[in-house]
Amino acid sequence: MILNARQSLLNRAIHQQMADIDVFFLNLNIHRSNLVSDSLNEIAKKQNDLKKKLKVTFIGEPGLDMGGLTKEWFLLLIKQIFHEDYANGSRSLQLNVRILDLHFPTLCFKKLLSPPVVPVDVDRCNDVAVGLKELLSYEGNVEEDFCMNF
């Protein structure tokens, strides 16, 4: 792709035409009101450019993408994709002490949590939870009375 772009620039220079710098970029032209569908359509149309550097333009808005528009597009896209209207439920994800308010579809959580982290015997877990709560509220000396330490 880089060789083709260089050749295109060279040919334009030889013929004294204006250089088309956009040959180096995957250019996405997006309406804010149709962010997800426009993004998917643009990416589908430009399959041959997917390895190029991304450049985003919001249609009807002035501005050059020096990285800021691409970042804004990506953040808005992620926010919409993980919105509960798309996700059918609300969950949050914690990564490295940062809590992200992401709304994954249930299917994604099933994939992320396989094998399941929730034990099959829920009643036993409830019994353990009740026992630990009672242990926390115990006013005596746990180590001496129960011969247990934690």
Residue 71 has pLDDT above 70, yes or no: yes
> Residue 95: its pLDDT value, please?
41
pLDDT band at 59 (very low <50, low <70, confident <90, very high): very high
pLDDT band at 38 (very low <50, low <70, confident <90, very high): very high
More confident residue, 147 or 99: 147
Residue 11 has pLDDT above 80, yes or no: no
When the pLDDT of each residue in the chain is averaged and rounded to a whole number, the result is: 75
54-60, long-range: CB within 8 Å, 24+ apart, which pairs?
Answer: 54/25, 54/26, 54/28, 55/22, 55/25, 55/26, 55/27, 55/28, 56/27, 56/28, 56/30, 57/27, 57/28, 57/29, 57/30, 58/30, 58/31, 58/32, 59/29, 59/30, 59/31, 60/31
Tens digit of each residue's pLDDT (9 = 90 or more) over 80-117: 877 656 555 545 544 454 455 666 677 776 777 766 65
pTM check: above 0.85 = no
